[in-house]
Amino acid sequence: MKYMKIFRSLLLIGVCAVNQSFAETTIIQAARMIDVTTGEIISPASIVIEGDTISAVNPDMLPATARVIDLGDRTLLPGLFDMHTHLTLDFFTGDNWTTAAVRETPADWALYGVAFGLQTLEAGFTTVRDAGAWPGFPDVALMRAIDAGRVTGPRIYPAGHYLSITGGHCDVTGFAPGIVELGPNQGIANGVDEILRAVRYQVKHGVKVIKVCATSGVFSAGTQPGAQQYSEIELQTIVEEASRHGLKVMAHAHGSEGIMAAVKAGVASIEHGSMLTPEIIKEMKKRGTYYVPTIYLSDIPLPENTPQDTINKSNFLSPYVEKSFRMAVDSGVNIALGTDSGVVRHYMVGKEFYAMVRRGMTPLHALQTATINAADLLGVSDRAELKAGKLADIIAVEGNPLEDITVMERVSFVMKNGEIVRSD
């Protein structure tokens, strides 16, 4: 009798396992899908998913016992990438962006990230590279919570603390002496020794990319918007030390001299790149450096209570930004989509597509910046295409984005890792 009970228990476990394997097989059907590599429209489309992986696309025979999700007259695309987010930042709640560093804590910022991460994922972005947070690693905490399944959001590659010179862009400036005075552990580092300490401290606490502010910026107090802030040897030190730990470097850079110095130092990407030149473009193409333009920023008003100094800097850079974007597109430099969300509202990140297309980029190229190009920049090969063996990150939009790119602003279905996140 005892052995019979054991046998029945084992049999029941086996039956449950078989049933679970059937339950994990899903078929997504839609009127069409886009091969983002070639631009080919495949119609109709049936994608078979086993667990968290695409197992087949339009096979000759579909699994008879699979769950079928018919999305009708929609277009299927791979989950999108945003290569420049700030999921734990909020620039739109009163004057929050100017005072958060002294009024809030890492716990506050991590909680922002829970809400903003979900908004980003529901907009169709299943993978993001987070470009820096206030001190305390709230972005790393958010990554861990998402990876563990405690909260819902995109896969995050966090930068932790920005690297900046004292008083530069990415330092906390504008307050009285003694208020939020930061050092290498918080990313504020001057000279080779402090830079090494800063990078190593980031690695110790789980960052997946290093962010350096190679030039001044728009939103920091004072400074010229394009002035170079790190020397060539300091930038080289950052890249070399990051590389030892298997990490890439993204460089905030507006001014031409700082952009060129960062490119020659070996950074993986230039963020914003407001003042490109033909010489910089040539060097970027030679090295395979990516340009992450965050161009939709130019189409929106600055947040309320923006200081006049920031407004002046934004107005100064505006014509350079437009010229640089068109130069980059026409020259064929590598481009990956980034939105600077946190400055852009997190649920509006899909508007980056139209912002690029209306400035001369083709719809297919725009889609590629958020899929295969971004995956190449990030260094991942397990996603960004709707092919067998890739992760089941799938989105759907109504209409055809190759004909009307604005449909990317209205994602109606999102699947990440084979799990449905949104289904309107």
* Active site amino acids: 211, 340
User: Which whole-number Å values give the CA distances from 184 to 164, 171, 200, 241, in the listed order?
Assistant: 9, 11, 10, 14
Q: Give CA–CA dist 316/298, Å, rounded.
A: 12
Q: Give CA–CA dist 365/382, Å, rounded.
A: 20
> What letters, b where the CB count within 10 A reaches 16 and e where it falls short, cover 12-36?
eeeeeeeeeeeeebbbbbbbbbbbb
The answer to whether 26 and 51 are in contact (CB under 8 A) is no
CA R_g for the chain: 23
Which amino acid would we find at residue 279? E
Alpha carbon of residue 336 to chain centroid: 9
At how many degrees (to 10) do helices 191-204 and 232-244 cross? 30
Specify the 3-state DSSP secondary structure of 332: coil
As beta bridge partners, residue 54 has: 49
The burial class, CB within 10 Å (0-12 / 13-18 / 19+), for 265 is buried
As beta bridge partners, residue 246 has: none
Which amino acid would we find at residue 288? G
119, 122, 125, 126: CA torsion to nearest 10: 110
Q: Which residue from 423, 418, 339 is spatially nearest to 383, judged by alpha carbons? A: 418
Report long-range pairs for 60-67 (Cβ below 8 Å, ≥24 apart).
Answer: 62/27, 63/25, 63/27, 65/22, 65/25, 66/22, 66/25, 66/26, 66/27, 67/23, 67/25, 67/26, 67/27
Which amino acid would we find at residue 86? H
